[in-house]
Chain A
């Protein structure tokens, strides 16, 4: 069965510093991986995805993610954090057994302090 894990409930970083939000996955076959962000009282906004190709994926709002097959990880990164990046971040994998549903991690709250 496919699964994703986000080992950190919360990540704290100072504005201007680089940020990393961690995600590891377990899938059979090639993974389809996604990152979404959720602001308070809002739905999920798509940030980026990895399907195949370059291991470094660039997405919206300056975010990028690095796919590492040997470590089964797909960490979200940003070179310089903004206070406005503070939100809840979800990693997800597409369930290859059930075709199209997304399996989400538990979420990581990012807090960027001024």
Chain B
């Protein structure tokens, strides 16, 4: 099976812009989670989707949002970008919620 894919792999944006990141889970996986990785804060949970429903959300401002489609693909959106949003954004999928999570390669977002 193909692994989790994330697009794009790299993004450069300026402050105030918005960005949309995409994640395609492993075939058959229905749960998708998003994490932010930064040198200072480490790995932090953003949100988790299962069957198109957001079931958990981490401690991030409302500028961070996401959704999941009927084919389990997921997108996350960050509006009004700030310099501190520069990070590696990782998507993970699992067959069912609570199963082992398998991660994609991430999207490296740089905000200038």
Contact = CB atoms under 8 A, between A and B. Distances in A.
Interface of A: 34, 36, 41-46, 49, 90, 94-95, 98-107
B30 to A, nearest CB: 12
Interface of B: 4, 6, 31, 33, 35, 42-43, 45, 48, 55-56, 58, 90, 92, 94, 97-98, 100-106, 108
Return the 9 tightest CB-CB contacts between A and B, nearest first.
Answer: A43-B103, A104-B43, A44-B103, A101-B45, A43-B105, A100-B97, A43-B106, A100-B98, A43-B104
B53 to A, nearest CB: 12
Contacts of A90: 43
Interface of B is mostly: strand
Given A99-B97, A100-B94, A102-B92, 7 more contacts: A34-B100, A43-B6, A43-B90, A46-B101, A99-B56, A100-B97, A102-B35
Contacts, number: 56
B102 A104 contact: no
9 contacts: A41-B105, A43-B6, A46-B100, A99-B97, A101-B33, A101-B45, A102-B45, A103-B45, A107-B42
A85 B60 CA distance: 33
Given A46-B102, A49-B100, A100 B58 contact: no
Contacts of A101: 33, 45, 48, 56, 58
B24 to A, nearest CB: 13
A100 B102 contact: no
